[in-house]
Structure 1
Amino acid sequence: MSGRAGFGGRLARLDPPSRVGALVGAVLLVAVGTFLLAPELVGYPLVAAVLVVGYGLFADQATTVRALTLAATVVTVLVLALITVYLVAQSIPAFRTMGPGIVLKRAPFWNPDSGLFSLVPMIWGTVVTTLIATLVAAPLGVAGAVFIAEMAPDWARGLLKPAVEGLAGVPSIVYGFIGLTLLSPFMSTNFGLPTLGSLLVVGAVIGAMALPTVVSVAEDAIDSVPSAMKDGSLALGATDWQTTTDVTLPAAFSGVSAAVLLGVGRAVGETMAATVILANVTTLPDPLYDVFGNTITLTSLIASQYGIASGTQMSALFAAGVILFVTVLGLSLGSQYVERRMERSFGGNR
């Protein structure tokens, strides 16, 4: 009773906007806590939250929206933290069983019957397909972005930009099916491959999938370069191409690099295309650099085996998720480092 009275007294002493924000924040916090601790009772605080938010929007819209955005931020961070903790916790049995061998062990690699769960072939398959996808998406994506932003006439840009953005919405299973039914038979027929799937086909398909993302984000970065910088370069006698290569692209480098890293991130995390095209081969290609091999990736391992996994095998799949998580986190930190270096080099925000 005294606690409620104390809270009520502090609430009464607040000015009306702060009171509304405190009420909205408190009810939302209770709703989130109930969902995490007693989900069967979440309906009651959820109804209360809807009523309080409705009252807040009527009484003080700005304060309520500020409280809602803060609550959304807190919930997002909390959910990501819980996912990370759960992912790591579920992977511990596999790391405890295999030790460093989970990423270092030599053949045999993956044999659930014998309790072997080395992820070396899957890591190698992910690295190779990501490199191939980057070689496809990075140069073609940046070139396409430069053409749309700097060279294409207005009518062509009006057609190309929506078309590229529309390609980004095509489901990955469609790309995978095209790779399986068209590219894989072509490679098998003309190169005499023993199996339909190959790392080269998967890398090319994933690179094509990442192209719209790279083109769209890089084009926005290039288009946001101030026109005064371009006009100054042209006024000094530089050609359009020299202005693009020596002024526009360096000024937009952080945005362009972010576009490429987004494409790489999609390549690393792509699941369905790799699962559809690749066979369930858990060995390294021979020789190791053979891009026509059929080694499984980390994502396709999870997608193809989670339905039959249990015990340590399921934990090994979570360990594959941890490796993917750390990889994407490293890419994100690397992009931020590159952006800061470029900001210091150019003395601006780009």
Structure 2
Amino acid sequence: MSTTELHQQVRERFGVETIDDRVVALGAAGALCLLVSAITFLIGSPFTALPFAGFLFTVAYGLYEYQAATAKALSFLATIGTGTILALITFYLLVEALPAIRLMGAEMFTSTSEPMWRTRGEEMYSLVPMMWGTLVTTVLAMLIAGPLGVAGALFISEIAPDAVREVVKPAVETLAGIPSIVYGFIGFTILNDYMMESLELPTSGSLVIVGLVVGLMSLPTVVSVAEDAIASVPESMKSGSLALGTTDWQTIKSITIPASFSGVSAAVLLGVGRAIGETMAATVILGHAQRLPDPLYDVFGNTETLTSLIASQYGVASGTHMSALFAAGVVLFVSVTVLSIGSQYIERRMKHQLQGES
């Protein structure tokens, strides 16, 4: 590739009209320093800081001399870096999980025979109880966070007076900042004791308590994101509906909710992701029994979730045991990925319907 062609590609990529060899050399030097820094970090070299310091120097000099081109290059680099990090995490999870998957095969995800989890002697690693526990707690959490979150978002955005909105909205957002260990401790000391005393549960901790606590934790996320989606509906659409003689509730039901459905769906799916990935609350509340409830639909039973399994056992795990925990991480990773793809599909579908496309 000639220098002229290289300059043309750089101009097209970073949107600059003129460019000289110094810009190209500076960009090449920064990229080389960053690449060397990444390689030395991966191989565990003690000299990782040296090439990274060179990268920082080139960035600082570029921002001083060629601010626009450097800023756009950094944005492009951040995008590439995000994709690369995601790919590396995926690769690392799969590689670390392979020993356990080779040992157990499909039984890791299908076996329901006892014992389902044994780390010594004849090892047995079945993720079925943990997958079931994660599913049940997520469903219970979203039965709480979904309807209440959407209702709260509608109240804040469409119904509440300004004075009430200015108090309620910051309060809801503050709830999202409370550490999950606090929710878990409250659930363990208050809800757990209440359940054991009132319902005479035989064991400490149950799926319904985790579902309730995680649902309350997910509620601020659903309310905040759904409220932003509802507030983004054009005022002209709502005013036009009211001008035709509809009531406020009819406008909310027939105009506001359908128009913001993609954003509301994204809010609920974000809440689902929060529920699936919640660790500390489940770890504190559950009794860590790696078995299925009996009967299976017993939400007052005590089992395990994927996140609580990893959090409670990684400190003593090694060998195949550690690999099985990585396999649990793979299941979580795949679940969140499916949710992300699903949310994007719903958003595209709703945009097509709202725009009158088939």
Q: Which region of structure 1 is more displaced relative to structure 2, 323-332 or 107-116? A: 107-116
Q: Which region of structure 1 is more displaced relative to structure 2, 119-128 or 39-48? A: 39-48
One-letter amino acid of the structure 2 residue matched with residue 112 of structure 1: T
Calculate percent identity across the aligned residue pairs: 59
Cα distance between partner residues in 1 of 2:145 and 2:99: 37
Instruction: Return the offset for 1:106.
Output: 1.9
Cα distance between partner residues in 1 of 2:210 and 2:139: 11
Counterpart selection for 1:149 from 157, 181, 200: 157
The corresponding residue for 1:44 is 50
Counterpart selection for 1:309 from 317, 324, 333: 317
Residue by residue over 1:207-235, the C-alpha shift from the partner in whole angstroms, topping out at 9 and shown as x without a partner, is 00000000000000000111111111111
Name structure 2 gaps, 5 residues minimum. 8-17
The corresponding residue for 2:91 is 85
Classify 1:52/1:145 alpha carbon distance in 2 versus 1 (closer, same or farther; 3 Å). Answer: same
Q: Does 1:333 align with 2:341?
A: yes
Instruction: Return the offset for 1:312.
Output: 1.2
Classify 1:135/1:31 alpha carbon distance in 2 versus 1 (closer, same or farther; 3 Å). Answer: same
Instruction: Return the offset for 1:25.
Output: 3.9
Secondary structure of residue in 1 paired with 2:264: helix
Name structure 1 gaps, 5 residues minimum. 1-5
Residue by residue over 1:153-185, the C-alpha shift from the partner in whole angstroms, topping out at 9 and shown as x without a partner, is 111111111111111011000000000000000
Counterpart selection for 1:170 from 178, 181, 189: 178
Instruction: Return the offset for 1:18.
Output: 5.3
Residue by residue over 1:244-290, the C-alpha shift from the partner in whole angstroms, topping out at 9 and shown as x without a partner, is 11111111111100000000001001000000000010111111000
Cα distance between partner residues in 2 of 1:96 and 1:152: 57
Instruction: Return the offset for 1:14.
Output: 4.8
The corresponding residue for 1:322 is 330
The corresponding residue for 2:274 is 266
Cα distance between partner residues in 1 of 2:42 and 2:323: 23
Residue by residue over 1:279-335, the C-alpha shift from the partner in whole angstroms, topping out at 9 and shown as x without a partner, is 010111111000000111111111111111111111111111101111111111111
Residue by residue over 1:183-223, the C-alpha shift from the partner in whole angstroms, topping out at 9 and shown as x without a partner, is 00001111110112000000000000000000000000000
Cα distance between partner residues in 1 of 2:42 and 2:72: 23
One-letter amino acid of the structure 2 residue matched with residue 110 of structure 1: W
**Structure 1 ranges of 4+ moved more than 6 A:** none
Classify 1:20/1:244 alpha carbon distance in 2 versus 1 (closer, same or farther; 3 Å). Answer: farther
Classify 1:348/1:73 alpha carbon distance in 2 versus 1 (closer, same or farther; 3 Å). Answer: farther
Q: Contact between 2:154 and 2:227, CA under 8 Å: does it hold in 1? A: yes
Instruction: Return the offset for 1:127.
Output: 0.5
Secondary structure of residue in 1 paired with 2:168: helix
One-letter amino acid of the structure 2 residue matched with residue 98 of structure 1: M
Counterpart selection for 2:69 from 63, 73, 83: 63
Q: Contact between 1:25 and 1:71, CA under 8 Å: does it hold in 2? A: no
Q: Contact between 2:111 and 2:128, CA under 8 Å: does it hold in 1? A: yes
Q: What TM-score, normalized to structure 1? A: 0.93
Cα distance between partner residues in 2 of 1:47 and 1:348: 54
Alignment of 1:163-202 (within 5 A): 163-202=171-210
Secondary structure of residue in 2 paired with 1:322: helix
Q: Contact between 2:30 and 2:54, CA under 8 Å: does it hold in 1? A: no
Secondary structure of residue in 2 paired with 1:341: helix
**Equivalent residue pairs, number:** 342
Q: Contact between 1:258 and 1:335, CA under 8 Å: does it hold in 2? A: yes
Q: Contact between 1:18 and 1:63, CA under 8 Å: does it hold in 2? A: no
Q: Which region of structure 1 is more displaced relative to structure 2, 187-196 or 268-277? A: 187-196
Q: Contact between 2:133 and 2:303, CA under 8 Å: does it hold in 1? A: yes
Cα distance between partner residues in 2 of 1:159 and 1:39: 53
Q: Does 1:95 align with 2:101?
A: yes
Cα distance between partner residues in 2 of 1:90 and 1:348: 48
Q: Contact between 1:21 and 1:63, CA under 8 Å: does it hold in 2? A: no
Q: Contact between 1:94 and 1:313, CA under 8 Å: does it hold in 2? A: yes
Cα distance between partner residues in 1 of 2:342 and 2:273: 12
Q: Does 1:206 align with 2:198?
A: no
Cα distance between partner residues in 1 of 2:266 and 2:301: 30
Secondary structure of residue in 2 paired with 1:41: coil
The corresponding residue for 1:115 is 123
Classify 1:311/1:20 alpha carbon distance in 2 versus 1 (closer, same or farther; 3 Å). Answer: closer
